[in-house]
Chains A and B, each alone.
Chain A
Amino acid sequence: MSNSDENNKKPSGIEIFLTNLKHLPQSFKDAAVRHGPPSSNRAASQTVFSNLFLHIHSVRTHRYNFKKTFTVGLGIASAAAFVILVITGVLLMIYYKPSLAQAYNSVKDIHFAVPGGRLIRNIHRWGAHLMVLGVFLHMVRVFMTGSYRHPRQFNWVVGMILFAVTLGLSFTGYLLPWDQLAYWATTIGAQIAGSPVEITDALGITKYIDIGGTQMRLLLGSDVVGEEALVRFYFLHCIFLPLVLITFLGVHFWRIRKDGGMSRPSKITDDMLVGTPIDVAAEMAFPTKNKTYGLMCLVKGDSNNVKNSPNQTVQSWPHLFNYEMAIFILVLAILIVLSYVSDAPLKEAANPAVPENPAKAPWYFLGLQELVSYSAFMGGVAIPGLAVLGLMLIPFLDRTRNQSGIWFPDKDEKTVFKSTVIFSSIVILATLIFTVNFGWLRNWYPQIPQMFIVILNPGTVITSLFVWWSLRILKKTGSTRLGAMSIFTCFLIGFIILTYFAYQHRGPNWNFYWWPSLWPTH
């Protein structure tokens, strides 16, 4: 004992400390990362489920998910944009001051004086646009590939909520620079919120039930856009809506796992998987292709492996993470390039006395604004309300269990899509051309009660025709999927054309002009 004691002489405290100090980088790294780069599939799996940020993914991912033409990476891009927005947003919060006296100047300072402020603000602005666009296209993709079907109905609803919150975030952020653009776009938005006043006015009950006014005051904290609105929007934009979004985003991702991963067709042949990564070892390990698995009670419906052998899967690490990381960096690169190409606008400081003419809402609300120009209530509340409600309910009304995960799986869908695109384009263009050239009821009968116009206006005419068309398709084909397809396509085309029309062809006093350069300057 004593010998060994002597031989293994207990190192002094100083020595231990120095040794530990020497090993500090390594031990810190070990503690933080725990695993080195995984060298085997097992290690890779280990890495995934032992990491908070990675474990939301499954360990293995189906090869179909990597098919570039399937998802186009839109969901990931939207999420990436959101992450970038959070980071840049937090940076902007350091310098931004949400008060009438300082808001505009603080944005000017961010632009001129804050190191990197201009770049951060530009990225934030472009990121917001990109996120709205990404979320919207993501929704279109999910619908068109029929991915809302059982068991993903609820995730579709969550997606709709995320879409609404995204618009809310973008809209509330629009006001914060407190310039003319912000002020008047928000005023338009608030007016849309207040539009039920049109119908309560027409019924003469505004005195008793002022739904529009209440909504507007709830939004603005006042009757006009002012300091109250600014603080409110700041709070919504920086705290409330991001928390809501993060929460539902978590649910959204979680549901993907729980609903059996991304949607995909029930039968996937090898030629459908051309160009996706392949795990040869796994192919070899499971020669039988008919074996199925079920994770009873844990995962609803068919799990990843049910009915399909796992040979069509690959390790999430590194394939999926590379994919995601690539899209993330791509999005970042796009935003940085755009930020150098074009600055985020900062017009003259908000001036309640000088209305912008035309005062246009942010681009994603322009379609609505066009409808609002016909009837505030119908365009601002009823039609979009019905549309959102209809969208949410689609998975419950169309309960067919056709192929999902494929763009236009059969000829019928393609035909219906094409004919609906043509039909809805004609309906909208014809209505717009008619309205621009001949006006509407108010121009012909100036004394007409507003109620008539609320009921019968270009917006309701278009909507009715859309509904009629979809019912006709539904009746003719007997397929709820095709009916849903046609109404969705109608609204999609409507949204695109109206947005374009309002963006490009509406000028001062919401009059028609071919180009903004033709706007009168006085």
Chain B
Amino acid sequence: MKKIMFYSSIIVIVFLIYGAVKEYLTTDWRSYQNQYAEFVEKDGVDFDVDYRQLVLPWFDKIDRCVICHVGISDPKTKNLANPLRVHPGSYLDSHDPNKFGCTICHDGQGRAITFESALASSEEYYWEEPILLSPYLEANCARCHRSDMPKLSGAYQRGKRLFIENGCQGCHTIQGKGGALGPELTTIGQESFSAKRPHSDNEHLIEEFNGNVNLAYIFEAVYQPKIQPDSSQMIDFGLSKEEAKDLTVYIKSLQEYAVPEGMIAASGVIEENGKDLYLRYCSACHGKNGKGTNLAEIGKLGPALGNPQFLAIVDNDFLSAIIEGSGSSVMPAWGSGGGLAKDDISKIADYVLSLKNEPKLYKEIKSVEGIAKYGRITFNANCAGCHGIDGEYETDLIGPTLRSPQLLSLFDNEKYYETIVHGRAGTAMPAWNFLSKQELADLIVYIDSWRAKKITYTSFVNAVNKGSSLRGKRLFYENCAACHGDNKEGGIGPSLYSKEFLTLADNKFMYNTIVKGRRNTAMPSFNHLDKNALGDIMAYLRDGFKGTTIGTGKKKIIGSEFNGKHLFERTCAQCHGKKGVGLNGPAIGNKDFLTNASDEYIWNMAAYGRSGSQMKGNLHGQNGTSDLSKKELNDIVSYIRTLEKKSPHLNGISTIPGDVDNGRIYFNEMCSQCHGIGGGGGNGPGIGKKGFLQSVSDGFIAAMMMSGRDGTEMKKFGRGGIVEIDGNTAMNIVYFLRNKDKSEVGKKYVVGTPQNGKVLYEGQCIQCHQKGSFAPDLMRSAFVKAAPVGYLQATMSLGRHQTAMQSMIRGNAGLTELSSKEINDIISYIKMGKE
């Protein structure tokens, strides 16, 4: 017993003494501090060897690094060996160690007082934040520098670009934003190393990253993602080792580190443009630049959003709705689940739309020689599905009949071209700018070939000479009275029963106006009428006119344009509108008018007025609206002449004054049956849509209303039409269309037979669009709600190039040959009960 007691006591005493010596006399920090004390003694500074630590209660930290690193803020130590050397760089100038400590930037175990424990570069030390070395150190800047990350070595910035451009957030969520396919990354940079560590085959990575399991894990995840277990869907992006390291720096910075408000350098959110947002959230599936993904690992390829045919028929509203919540099993709902704000979604949609090709200019097309016969092939291959074969009328077509004399007389080739290449946003009419120049030129020439052969001036004059006023009266009533009044007294068109007019308007002037029409106004070209009929109308026009038509000379009138502009705006613009765009008075700024009318014609009209109309003579002594001298009239005419060269573009501009409420009543009574509530579109075109209204003038709309469109269901609403409306009402309707509130526009509807559509859907669509099949599930209510009818019509009719979606409409050599009506049936089935 005594032996046991003796030896045990010896052991206890020896070990206690050993412990005491070890702890108090032979610690590293004492020897370092002694070295430092000797070093500064030369300068006569006293340095106490003592326990040192930085107490940082605001971080809940105690950093004892300074127990060895005693010289970090003493520049004299720059030649000493570590741990006594001064801190490199000028970081400490802006980061006072007493305020920030060490581990907020460097990590490591601040409470430890021995080298190994402080580095914690091994799991044995059980410290989750082993010391970080350059460049990974940069990640910790983001703890305080939220939106003003300093550019140190750039590894962080490069990594961030990689993160954005590879679309990582398409699958991974950060702070509530991002996809849900992959694990959330909000705090990946602080992930416990017992939860996430490299594969056992990759243990060497931990050594490579100085025992930092978290870094090794992140690096492995981006560099060799395939080494993860099979359940992982992580894609191998084929990054180089350097890129993977940069990306590791960025991902390491994804932390929710508790930093008190006052310590955060800049907390603002970094505004990102649409392109970066697209790259961040969409590019993983939809590919960079919308080219579709090239990542074979993604089993279900996201559609290539840059597909021109797709871009041709979508608008921001539809794209935003799909992004916000597609309801698809593959595509996340970015609004609710993905955490994106409406603004961001709209920015992404705008970016996608910006991938559209710039439409080719008409000038470029004119330089290409089109061939009508090839144009016809192009037309029947691309357009006939909706617009009828050869553009002829058929019942229930999706698109309007184009081969209508009234339309042809109101639309010149350029106008056709513009509609083709710009499409009508929000309707089924795509922007066809993906057609080649040759195809477009052919198409224009083909459409032009529909026009009647142009009546020559000579034959016109001959016909005028033989014209019968009696026949002419009937023809006038049918064709002109809608605008110009039953008795030529004028309506939306000017009064023609005016001696001043008839005196001045010679055959040439009349020919140019009647046969060529006046583009951008309600005055169509009447080329399609028989030349003799024109002669008869002319005879009727001049019937009862006692004087003789003298016409005007070609003399150029010279005056002060500047003065004229001033006078015009004070006197003429009241009726003719600023720059002559036309209000109650005709659009005298119209290019076609100015080409036709000579200076003298205009001068005379301005000076002596036009009897039977509101236009009074303005020359001094005429008792007109104004009292102008001849010189002043000269000035006005010379100003008007300048408008010819810069004739205002009237498309989409409202010039006709009117009454919205009155227009609304008439529109809803007469037009909405086919054109939908507020012109949202039904079986007739969506004429309330921006896309349409922007591409036509007020005159076009009014003229269409008054004359109808022969060969289509668009009836004539002018004189002799099914309903006879007067000019004022027509103007009010146009004014309503232009000035209604966006919310008044109803959704386009189609009238179809859902039962029939169901049969067709199950026969034609369901093979691919079945739930879980490769094509999108069309029956998702979120999709059906978001997808406009026009989008569905266009997609089904045209198919989508470079995808499995084939054209379904007859004549297009697609999957099947459906009629327009059948397509509408399918749409009515898809939409049934979902809106």
Residues of A near any B CB (own CB < 8 A): 101, 105, 108-109, 112-113, 115-116, 119, 179-180, 322-323, 325-327, 329-330, 332-333, 336-337, 340, 345-349, 351, 353-354, 356-357, 520-522
A119 touches B194 (CB 8 A): no
B15 touches A340 (CB 8 A): yes
Q: A101-B60, A179-B126 are in contact. Are A113 and B111 (CB under 8 A)?
A: yes
Q: A323-B1, A330-B8, A522-B228 are in contact. Are A108 and B111 (CB under 8 A)?
A: yes
Partner of A329, one of B9, B126, B194, B228: B9
Listed by A's residue number, 14 A-B pairs whose Cβ atoms lie within 8 Å are: A105-B60, A112-B112, A113-B113, A326-B2, A326-B4, A326-B5, A327-B4, A329-B8, A332-B8, A332-B12, A333-B9, A340-B18, A345-B126, A348-B194
Q: Which residue of B lies closest to A323 (CB)?
A: B1
**Among residues 15 to 71 in chain B, which have CB atoms less than 8 Å away from a CB atom of chain A?**
15-16, 18-20, 23-24, 51, 53, 60, 62, 64
Q: Answer whether residue B200 sits at the interface, using C-beta atoms and an 8 A cutoff.
A: yes
Chain A residues, CB < 8 A from B1: 322-323, 326
Q: Answer whether residue B88 sits at the interface, using C-beta atoms and an 8 A cutoff.
A: no
Bound: A112/B19 CA distance, A = 14
Chain A residues, CB < 8 A from B16: 336
Bound: A330/B113 CA distance, A = 32
Q: A346-B126, A354-B194, A521-B200 are in contact. Are A112 and B23 (CB under 8 A)?
A: no
Sorted nearest first, the 8 A-B pairs with minimum C-beta distance are: A333-B8, A329-B8, A326-B5, A333-B11, A354-B195, A354-B192, A521-B200, A326-B4
Q: A336-B16, A356-B194, A522-B229 are in contact. Are A325 and B128 (CB under 8 A)?
A: no
**Among residues 94 to 140 in chain B, which have CB atoms less than 8 Å away from a CB atom of chain A?**
109, 111-114, 117, 126-128
Partner of A521, one of B8, B19, B60, B199: B199
Q: Answer whether residue B257 sits at the interface, using C-beta atoms and an 8 A cutoff.
A: no
Q: A105-B60, A113-B113, A329-B5 provided; 13 other pairs, C-beta below 8 A?
A: A108-B109, A112-B117, A322-B1, A325-B5, A326-B5, A326-B8, A329-B8, A330-B8, A333-B8, A336-B16, A337-B11, A340-B19, A348-B128
Bound: A354/B111 CA distance, A = 23
Chain B residues, CB < 8 A from A327: 4
Hey, what's the 0/1 contact readout for B741-765 against A, CB within 8 Å counting as 1? 0000000000000000000000000
Q: Answer whether residue B197 sits at the interface, using C-beta atoms and an 8 A cutoff.
A: yes
Chain B residues, CB < 8 A from A348: 126-128, 192-194
A115 touches B15 (CB 8 A): no
Q: Which residue of B lies closest to A335 (CB)?
A: B12
Q: A326-B2, A333-B8, A521-B200 are in contact. Are A112 and B111 (CB under 8 A)?
A: yes
A322 touches B19 (CB 8 A): no
Chain A residues, CB < 8 A from B193: 348
A521 touches B192 (CB 8 A): no
Partner of B5, one of A322, A346, A357: A322
Chain B residues, CB < 8 A from A336: 11-12, 15-16
Partner of B64, one of A113, A115, A116, A330: A113
A112 touches B8 (CB 8 A): no
Residues of B near any A CB (own CB < 8 A): 1-2, 4-5, 7-9, 11-12, 15-16, 18-20, 23-24, 51, 53, 60, 62, 64, 109, 111-114, 117, 126-128, 192-195, 197-200, 203, 228-229
* Listed residue (B1, B64, B128, B193) with the most chain A CB atoms within 10 angstroms of its CB: B1
* Listed residue (A112, A353, A354) with the most chain B CB atoms within 10 angstroms of its CB: A112
Shortest Cβ gap from B72 to chain A (Å): 20
Partner of A112, one of B15, B60, B64, B229: B64
Bound: A179/B126 CA distance, A = 9
Bound: A325/B3 CA distance, A = 12
Bound: A260/B398 CA distance, A = 111
B9 touches A180 (CB 8 A): no
Q: A112-B117, A116-B23 are in contact. Are A521 and B15 (CB under 8 A)?
A: no
B15 touches A351 (CB 8 A): no
A-B contact count (CB 8 A): 93
Bound: A116/B17 CA distance, A = 11
Q: A112-B64, A112-B117, A326-B8 are in contact. Are A521 and B111 (CB under 8 A)?
A: no
Chain B residues, CB < 8 A from A179: 126
Shortest Cβ gap from A498 to chain B (Å): 26
Q: Which residue of B lies closest to A327 (CB)?
A: B4
Chain A residues, CB < 8 A from B200: 520-522
Chain A residues, CB < 8 A from B195: 353-354
A349 touches B15 (CB 8 A): no
Q: Which residue of B lies closest to A68 (CB)?
A: B1
Q: A112-B111, A332-B8, A521-B199 are in contact. Are A337 and B64 (CB under 8 A)?
A: no
Chain A residues, CB < 8 A from B4: 326-327, 329-330
Q: Which residue of B lies closest to A277 (CB)?
A: B1
Chain B residues, CB < 8 A from A112: 64, 111-114, 117
Bound: A330/B11 CA distance, A = 9
Chain A residues, CB < 8 A from B11: 333, 336-337
A116 touches B8 (CB 8 A): no
Shortest Cβ gap from B683 to chain A (Å): 58
Chain A residues, CB < 8 A from B20: 116
Chain A residues, CB < 8 A from B228: 522
Shortest Cβ gap from B211 to chain A (Å): 14
Shortest Cβ gap from A108 to chain B (Å): 5
Partner of B19, one of A119, A351, A354: A119
Shortest Cβ gap from A513 to chain B (Å): 13
Chain A residues, CB < 8 A from B126: 179, 345-348
Chain B residues, CB < 8 A from A345: 126
Bound: A160/B197 CA distance, A = 45
Bound: A274/B393 CA distance, A = 127
Chain A residues, CB < 8 A from B113: 112-113
Shortest Cβ gap from A316 to chain B (Å): 13
Bound: A353/B191 CA distance, A = 10
Chain A residues, CB < 8 A from B2: 322, 326
* Listed residue (B4, B62, B199) with the most chain A CB atoms within 10 angstroms of its CB: B4
Q: Which residue of B lies closest to A106 (CB)?
A: B111
Shortest Cβ gap from B194 to chain A (Å): 6
Bound: A179/B62 CA distance, A = 18
Bound: A337/B126 CA distance, A = 23
Shortest Cβ gap from A520 to chain B (Å): 7
Chain A residues, CB < 8 A from B194: 180, 348, 354, 356-357
Chain B residues, CB < 8 A from A357: 194
Q: Which residue of B lies closest to A325 (CB)?
A: B5
Chain A residues, CB < 8 A from B15: 333, 336-337, 340
Chain A residues, CB < 8 A from B128: 348-349
Chain B residues, CB < 8 A from A108: 109, 111-112
Bound: A213/B684 CA distance, A = 69
Chain B residues, CB < 8 A from A337: 11, 15
Q: Which residue of A lies closest to B198 (CB)?
A: A521
Bound: A346/B198 CA distance, A = 23
B64 touches A522 (CB 8 A): no
Shortest Cβ gap from A336 to chain B (Å): 5
Chain A residues, CB < 8 A from B9: 329, 333
Shortest Cβ gap from B325 to chain A (Å): 29
Q: Which residue of A lies closest to B67 (CB)?
A: A113
Bound: A353/B11 CA distance, A = 44
Q: A179-B126, A326-B1 are in contact. Are A521 and B12 (CB under 8 A)?
A: no
B64 touches A521 (CB 8 A): no
* Listed residue (B11, B18, B228) with the most chain A CB atoms within 10 angstroms of its CB: B11
Chain A residues, CB < 8 A from B5: 322, 325-326, 329-330
Chain A residues, CB < 8 A from B24: 115
Bound: A158/B55 CA distance, A = 49
B12 touches A329 (CB 8 A): yes
A109 touches B199 (CB 8 A): no
Shortest Cβ gap from B69 to chain A (Å): 16
Chain B residues, CB < 8 A from A522: 197, 199-200, 228-229
Shortest Cβ gap from A31 to chain B (Å): 28
Bound: A203/B650 CA distance, A = 82
Chain A residues, CB < 8 A from B18: 340
Chain A residues, CB < 8 A from B117: 112
